[in-house]
């Protein structure tokens, strides 16, 4: 036994010692790189891992520095055991969290724990390299979790530290004594170029980011969902929990309107925080304005109207959900937080669009989503869908809730919509044709009068709806001074009489006007797309983005929105055919907000022309073999043209540069260019006379003599100020233009 132990000790002693990395600066910068990665992950995931990870990692780095020349066999054994425990803990948490479908945070936590343990054993440059890789991976994880511009700041800091780290790492790989470089103030390494390299990398990255094609994302069927939420109470799917409503049903102070029909803005409250259009009943006889605040961030493959709920019964001064008792509860699949929703049958072409909503403020238990949601990934066991396709959850939405929705969003084919809505017949008992009998005749008469003003024949209901919406936009205006209605006064009649009203009054008026002529319509409330941030790829949605629109029914195709509010697009944003460079357009829209209108109009036209040309070119690849060959010829021809233009540009630049030189300098440079084009490039380390002597071995006697004479004249002019015989030397230069004969 003793001999065995002695043999083990002898083998351990025979292990060659690894050459440690002696540079303190290299270690400090590497540790800073890792700390930035940990902090970026913390900020993106809104955790507090950095509070213990960064100090412990720094302590480990100090320990490694002091023990860098020791074998530390026993300590490494303990570290190996600790890393094994961390690995098993990671797998246990991952499988336990499998239903949520988002293990990025678990991966980040695992890497941070490994890095903390690894920081206690960093003797060599290679070990520091592992830490650099972990820092880069953590930053990459943070980029997928981040929803704010703060990640951009962390990315710039990481890049600023990474550049000198890479230079020091490269010096260490080459065997250069970095410690000696530190003591001599890096005289042998030009660190002054780092700011220029930093600027070039940032500029190049922004250009690539803007022009990089955006392929359809979310190819995997697991989407971001927050941690599971336990609901102990029984889920009553008929209840809408609006933060603006107290338990008594009266509006709380600071609320603009109420969700139960009884809500009104407080008389002394100039601003409120919650939109009045979310509840089983809403009263539009109110005034006031919302105090802006961000409520959610949305990542979506396309922008659109984040639909919340719809109303089918008009009450004269507001709306209500008349079929609330027919709301259906949907249970999730047992193995994931995926809810499959019933979807109506439609002949229209649709596109699958995935959205992820991250809630950052208190909201009702209503789930915003694009129209025609068919799958929902939500962290509860149940959700509900009402007869108007509104989604409800058992809990109120609040800060930290994340869920994803997959919608089959329809394309708006105006031809099909017109054909399917022409002379359409609707059931008379439809709840979407309801209108108070005391106003039906008046509204119908005014609606028909407006339709009669059209210069074109309006046979299709869809065309009638578009015309009415456009008419309200152009002839009526948003009024902030509308008077509160009397109890027996109708909202739509007052709106038509006063030639305007509040924003949502436009949608109410259009909905009721369509019903008065027999077209099914309903009021839908939700949020505008919000402000798109091209750097994070997220839409920032605020409470002030909430408003109501009109939805009209088209047989065999479903419901389609129309926005009659002045200043809004008549047809809200929806899906378009695939545009790989759509981010560039959004980036330009963001920049255009800061430029004068004439400038933006001119640049927009240029962008439109270039975009159409690129789109036409890419479409050739979808037109069969002939289109493929056409596109190939265009690529070859364009490449040849670019090459010829490049050659011409180089010659023009050379000509311009030569013009500015002294005659003798120009003559000598012309000789070098001529010889380089023939394959006799001058080495930058050679002097003119050395180059002339080297060509004597491979050139003919006449050519070598001409090279020698021109080189000697150039040296005498350059260093001896001797005036050369330019004309005679030009004649000698002509000898070099002939085809060379190699000895």
- Section 370-399 average pLDDT: 91
Of 639 and 515, the one with more pLDDT: 515
> Confidence class of residue 311 from pLDDT cuts 50, 70 and 90?
very high
Answer whether residue 160 shows pLDDT above 70.
Answer: yes
Burial class (CB in 10 A: 0-12, 13-18, 19+), 542: middle
pLDDT at position 376, please?
93
pLDDT at position 264, please?
35
Of 176 and 327, the one with more pLDDT: 327
Answer whether residue 655 shows pLDDT above 90.
Answer: no
Strand partners, 562: 550
Highest mean pLDDT out of 139-148, 203-212, 311-320, 719-728: 311-320
> Confidence class of residue 219 from pLDDT cuts 50, 70 and 90?
very low
Helix (H, G, I), strand (E, B) or coil at 370: coil
What are the DSSP calls for 622-678, one per residue?
GSHHHHHHHHHHHHHHHHHHHHHHHHHHHHHHHHHHHHTS-HHHHHHHHHHHHHHHT
Highest mean pLDDT out of 44-53, 375-384, 419-428, 585-594: 375-384
Strand partners, 289: 271
* Separation of alpha carbons 139 and 153, rounded Å: 12
In CATH terms, 416-527+544-577 corresponds, of 3.40.50.1000, 2.40.50.140, 3.40.980.10, 3.10.620.30, to 3.10.620.30
**C-alpha distances in angstroms, 243 versus 152, 257, 388, 398?**
34, 12, 22, 10
Of 603 and 38, the one with more pLDDT: 38
pLDDT > 70 in the chain, percent:
83
Dihedral angle at the C-alpha atoms of 415, 420, 423, 427, nearest 10 degrees? Answer: -150
pLDDT at position 252, please?
41
Residue 73 main-chain phi, psi, to 5 deg: -65, -50
Determine contact, residues 529/306, Cβ cutoff 8 Å.
Answer: yes
Q: What DSSP designation does 500 have? A: E
Say which range, 229-238, 264-273, 351-360, has the weakest mean pLDDT: 264-273
**C-alpha distances in angstroms, 116 versus 39, 105, 120, 327?**
14, 17, 7, 52
> Confidence class of residue 208 from pLDDT cuts 50, 70 and 90?
confident
Determine contact, residues 630/620, Cβ cutoff 8 Å.
Answer: yes
* Separation of alpha carbons 356 and 168, rounded Å: 42
> Confidence class of residue 740 from pLDDT cuts 50, 70 and 90?
low
* Separation of alpha carbons 309 and 424, rounded Å: 26
pLDDT > 90 in the chain, percent:
20
Determine contact, residues 337/377, Cβ cutoff 8 Å.
Answer: yes
Say which range, 148-162, 239-253, 348-362, has the weakest mean pLDDT: 239-253
> Confidence class of residue 406 from pLDDT cuts 50, 70 and 90?
very high
pLDDT at position 97, please?
59
Determine contact, residues 105/43, Cβ cutoff 8 Å.
Answer: no
* Separation of alpha carbons 504 and 523, rounded Å: 9
- Section 726-740 average pLDDT: 77
Answer whether residue 47 shows pLDDT above 90.
Answer: no
Q: What DSSP designation does 737 have? A: T
- Section 642-654 average pLDDT: 85
Structure tokens at 564: 């009659």
CATH 3.10.620.30 residue ranges of the chain are 416-527+544-577
* Separation of alpha carbons 473 and 565, rounded Å: 6
- Tell me the whole-structure pTM to 2 decimals: 0.65
> Confidence class of residue 140 from pLDDT cuts 50, 70 and 90?
confident
Residue 252, Cβ neighbours under 10 Å: how many?
Answer: 18
pLDDT at position 249, please?
37
Determine contact, residues 706/733, Cβ cutoff 8 Å.
Answer: yes
Of 180 and 202, the one with more pLDDT: 202
pLDDT at position 191, please?
62
- Section 560-581 average pLDDT: 77
Scanning the structure block, which residue is given the tokens 């030569």? Answer: 658
pLDDT (tens digit, 9 = 90+) per residue, 508-559? 999 999 999 999 999 999 999 998 887 777 899 999 999 999 999 998 888 9
- Section 564-590 average pLDDT: 68
Answer whether residue 96 shows pLDDT above 50.
Answer: yes
Highest mean pLDDT out of 279-293, 382-396, 626-640: 382-396
User: What's the per-residue H, E or C state across 155-199?
Assistant: HHHHHHHHHHHHHHHHHHHCCCCHHHHHHCCCCCCCHHHHHHHHH
Q: How far from chain centre, in Å, is Cα 329? A: 34
Answer whether residue 100 shows pLDDT above 60.
Answer: no
Dihedral angle at the C-alpha atoms of 518, 521, 523, 529, nearest 10 degrees? Answer: -140
pLDDT at position 540, please?
92
> Residue 717: CB partners within 8 Å, gap ≥ 6?
664, 723, 724
pLDDT at position 384, please?
93
pLDDT (tens digit, 9 = 90+) per residue, 245-276? 443 334 443 333 333 333 333 333 444 677 88
* Separation of alpha carbons 71 and 379, rounded Å: 49
> Residue 229: CB partners within 8 Å, gap ≥ 6?
379, 380, 395, 401
Scanning the structure block, which residue is given the tokens 């073999």? Answer: 625
Residue-averaged pLDDT of the chain: 80
> Confidence class of residue 312 from pLDDT cuts 50, 70 and 90?
very high
Answer whether residue 580 shows pLDDT above 60.
Answer: no
Strand partners, 294: 542
pLDDT at position 516, please?
92
Q: How far from chain centre, in Å, is Cα 538? A: 5
Answer whether residue 232 shows pLDDT above 80.
Answer: no
**SS percent in the chain: helix, strand, coil, step 5:** 50, 15, 40
Q: How many CA atoms lie within 13 A of 276 on its CB side?
A: 31
* Separation of alpha carbons 384 and 375, rounded Å: 12
């Amino acid at each position: 036994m003793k001999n065995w132990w002695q043999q083990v000790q002898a083998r351990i002693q025979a292990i060659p010692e690894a050459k440690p990395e002696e540079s303190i600066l290299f270690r400090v910068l590497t540790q800073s790189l890792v700390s930035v990665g940990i902090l970026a992950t913390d900020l993106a995931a809104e955790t507090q891992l950095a509070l213990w990870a960064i100090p412990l990692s720094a302590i480990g780095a100090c320990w490694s520095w002091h023990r860098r020349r020791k074998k530390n066999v026993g300590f490494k054994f303990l570290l190996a055991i600790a890393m094994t425990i961390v690995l098993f803990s990671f797998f246990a948490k991952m499988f336990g969290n499998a239903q949520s479908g988002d293990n990025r945070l678990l991966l980040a936590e695992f890497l941070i724990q490994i890095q903390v343990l690894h920081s206690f054993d960093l003797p060599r440059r290679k070990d520091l390299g592992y830490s650099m890789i972990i820092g880069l991976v953590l930053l990459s994880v943070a980029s997928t979790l981040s929803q704010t511009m703060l990640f951009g700041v962390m990315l710039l800091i990481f890049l600023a530290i990474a550049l000198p780290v890479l230079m020091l790492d490269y010096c260490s790989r080459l065997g250069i004594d970095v410690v000696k470089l530190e003591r001599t103030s890096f005289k042998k390494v030009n660190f002054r170029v780092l700011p220029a390299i930093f600027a070039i990398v940032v500029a190049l990255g922004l250009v690539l980011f803007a022009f990089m094609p955006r392929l359809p994302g979310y190819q995997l069927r697991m989407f971001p969902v927050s941690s599971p939420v336990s609901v102990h109470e029984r889920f009553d799917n008929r209840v809408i929990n609006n933060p603006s409503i107290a338990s008594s049903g009266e509006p709380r102070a600071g609320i603009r309107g109420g969700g139960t029909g009884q809500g009104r803005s407080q008389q002394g409250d100039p601003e409120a925080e919650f939109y009045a259009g979310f509840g089983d009943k809403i009263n539009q006889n109110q005034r006031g304005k919302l105090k802006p605040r961000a409520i959610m961030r949305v990542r979506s493959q396309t922008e659109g109207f984040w639909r919340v709920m719809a109303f089918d019964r008009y009450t004269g001064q507001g709306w209500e959900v008349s079929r609330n008792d027919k709301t259906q509860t949907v249970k999730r699949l047992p193995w994931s937080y995926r809810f499959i929703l019933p979807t109506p049958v439609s002949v229209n072409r649709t596109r699958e669009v995935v959205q992820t909503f991250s809630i950052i403020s208190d909201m009702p238990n209503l789930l915003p989503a694009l129209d025609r949601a068919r799958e929902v990934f939500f962290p509860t066991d149940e959700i509900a869908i009402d007869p108007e396709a509104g989604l409800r959850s058992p809990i109120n939405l609040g800060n930290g809730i994340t869920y994803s929705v997959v919608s089959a969003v329809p394309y708006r084919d105006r031809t099909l919509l017109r054909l399917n809505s022409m002379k359409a017949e609707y059931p008379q008992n439809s709840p979407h044709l309801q209108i108070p009998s005391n106003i039906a005749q008046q509204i119908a008469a005014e609606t028909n009068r407006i339709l009669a003003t059209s210069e074109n024949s309006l046979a299709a209901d869809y065309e009638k709806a578009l015309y009415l919406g456009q008419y309200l936009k152009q002839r009526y205006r948003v009024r902030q001074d509308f008077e509160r209605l009397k109890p027996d006064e109708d909202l739509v009649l007052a709106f038509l009489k006063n030639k305007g009203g509040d924003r949502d009054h436009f949608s109410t008026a259009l909905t009721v006007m369509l019903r008065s002529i027999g077209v099914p319509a309903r009021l839908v409330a939700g949020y505008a797309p919000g402000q798109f941030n091209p750097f994070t790829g997220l839409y920032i949605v605020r409470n002030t983005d909430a408003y109501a629109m009109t939805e009209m029914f088209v047989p065999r195709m479903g419901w389609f929105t129309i926005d009659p509010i002045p200043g809004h697009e008549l047809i809200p944003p929806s899906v378009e055919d695939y545009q790989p460079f759509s981010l560039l357009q959004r980036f330009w829209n963001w920049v255009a907000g800061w430029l004068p209108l004439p400038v933006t109009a001119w640049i927009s036209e240029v962008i439109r022309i270039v975009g159409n040309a690129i789109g036409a070119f890419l479409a050739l690849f979808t037109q069969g073999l002939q289109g493929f060959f056409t596109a190939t010829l265009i690529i070859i021809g364009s490449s040849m043209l670019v090459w010829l233009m490049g050659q011409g540009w180089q010659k023009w630049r050379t000509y311009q540069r030569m013009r500015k030189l002294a005659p003798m300098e120009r003559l000598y440079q012309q000789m070098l260019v001529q010889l380089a084009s023939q394959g006799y490039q001058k080495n930058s380390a050679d002097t003119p006379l050395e180059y002339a002597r080297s060509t004597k071995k491979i050139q003919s006697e006449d050519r070598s003599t001409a090279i020698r004479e021109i080189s000697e004249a150039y040296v005498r002019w350059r260093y001896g100020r001797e005036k050369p015989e330019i004309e005679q030397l030009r004649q000698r230069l002509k000898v070099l233009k002939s085809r060379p004969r190699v000895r």
